[in-house]
Amino acid sequence: MNEGVIICDQNGNIEWYNDSYFKTIGYTKEQYFESAYGKVKTLQELSSYKSLSTVFKNFPKTREAIVYDSPHQNQQGEVEWTRSSIVPVFNDADELNKIIAIYTNITDRKNVEIALEQANKDFLDSVKYAKRIQEAVLPHAVILENEFPNSFVFYKPRDIVSGDFYWFAKVNNVFLWALADCTGHGVPGAFMSLIGNEYLHQVTHNALFTGPEQCLHFLDKQITRALHQDGGDKDSRDGMDIGLCAIHTKDNLCQFSGANIPLYLIRNGEVIEMEAVKEAIGGYNERGKDFYSHEFPILPGDTMYMTSDGFIDQFGGTNGKKFMRRNFRELILRIHMLPMEEQKTIIETEFNNWKNDRKQVDDVLVIGIKIP
C-alpha cells in the first residue's frame, strides 16, 4: 500500500499511522517523531486545511469526504505535495466513529502542473505583449471616426491577438479603408496582419497608389515574394482576403476592389453587393490573378459595409448552423437607417445571441460607414 493513512477518533485526535504515511511525506518514522510533526496530536494541527475541525463537526450531517492538496517540506527541506482525502466512518448506530485521512504523494504530478501553469503564463504574457505591438502598429479606428463620424468598427478577436485587421489612410483627397482576414487566427494571423499592414503602408506613402485594383496586385506580389511563394511552393496558401475601398470625397466617387471580401452598399432600401474576385492575396497561382475594381458615385445617406467571414461562418442558432451571408445581408438592411453606434451594438448582440454558448470559430470584424 503506497498511500499514507492516519486514523483518528471522531474529534480528529490521532490514534494510528501506517508505515507508508511517513514515506509519503518524505520522512523515516524516526525522523518524523523527532521533528515538529511528531509533537502534533490532532489532524487539525497537522493539516493546512484551516477549517478541518468544522468539517469534522459537520460530518454527521454532510456524510461526505473532502479532498484537498497541500504542500509541505520533507526532511531535506524540499517541497512535496500530498493529496489528502478525509473520510468519515460511522458505526452500526449511525454515529460518527472514526475519521480516516488518506495521503497520496502527488509531488511529480504537481510539479508538472506548476511547470505547465508557468509555461502557460509566460506564453500568455508574450501574446499579450504581442497584442500591444499589433495595436501600436495597426492604424487606429479614430482615423475613420475623424473622416466619417457616422461609422463603426465591430472587432472581436477569437484569441488575444487577431488575424483580422482594419486599415485606414488619407491620400490627398482620397480616403482609403480596408478590411482584411489573414490566414489563420491568433499569433500566426497576427504576424500576417503586420505584413499586410506594412505593404499597404508602402502603397500609400511611396506614391504607388493609383487605385484599389492596382493596390491588390501590388499587395499580392509583395506577399507572394515575402513568403517565397513565387519559387514554386505550391503547398503554401498563406496570405489574406481583403476588401479595399477608395472614397474620393471631392468627386463623390467610390472605387472598390476585393479579394474574397465583397462590399455591401445600401441605397434606397436595397442591398447592392460589389463582388470580390474569388482569389486570395498570396498563395501560389500559376495562371495569375485578375483583380478588378468597381467604380460608382456615392450619394448622401449611402451606407457601406464589409465583414470578415468570422461572422458569416459562426455556428449557432437553434440548429447549430452557420450564420450565412444571406442573413448578414438581411441584418444590415434591417438596421441601416439607425445611428451607426446603435448598429454596432445590434450587430454585436446578434452575433453573441447567435453564437450563444458555442465556441467562437474565427476572428470577427465588421466595418460600417454612412456617407454624410
Provide the pLDDT for residue 234.
59
Ranges of residues in the chain whose predicted pLDDT is under 70: 1, 206-208, 231-236, 286
Domain interval for residue 286:
139-370
Q: Give residue for cell 465588421.
A: 366
| 60 & 165 share domain | no
Provide the pLDDT for residue 1.
56
Provide the pLDDT for residue 61.
92
| 309 & 242 share domain | yes
Provide the pLDDT for residue 207.
58
| 168 & 270 share domain | yes
With respect to residue 333, please indicate whether it lies within any of the assigned structural domains. Answer: yes
| 88 & 167 share domain | no
Nearest to 277 by CA among 312, 326, 323, 242: 242
* 325-341: pLDDT as tens digits: 999 999 999 999 999 99
Please state, in angstroms and rounded to a whole number, the distance separating the CA atoms of residues 204 and 202: 6
Q: Could you tell me the CATH number of the domain that includes residue 267?
A: 3.60.40.10
Q: Could you tell me the CATH number of the domain that includes residue 51?
A: 3.30.450.20
Please state, in angstroms and rounded to a whole number, the distance separating the CA atoms of residues 364 and 356: 15
| 175 & 279 share domain | yes
C-alpha distances (whole Å) from 134 to each of 124, 137, 138 are 15, 5, 6
Q: Give the total number of structural domains in the chain.
A: 2
With respect to residue 69, please indicate whether it lies within any of the assigned structural domains. Answer: yes
Provide the pLDDT for residue 24.
85
With respect to residue 284, please indicate whether it lies within any of the assigned structural domains. Answer: yes
| 244 & 354 share domain | yes
| 85 & 215 share domain | no
With respect to residue 75, please indicate whether it lies within any of the assigned structural domains. Answer: yes
Last residue of some domain: 82, 105, 128? 105
Provide the pLDDT for residue 330.
97
| 277 & 363 share domain | yes
| 83 & 172 share domain | no
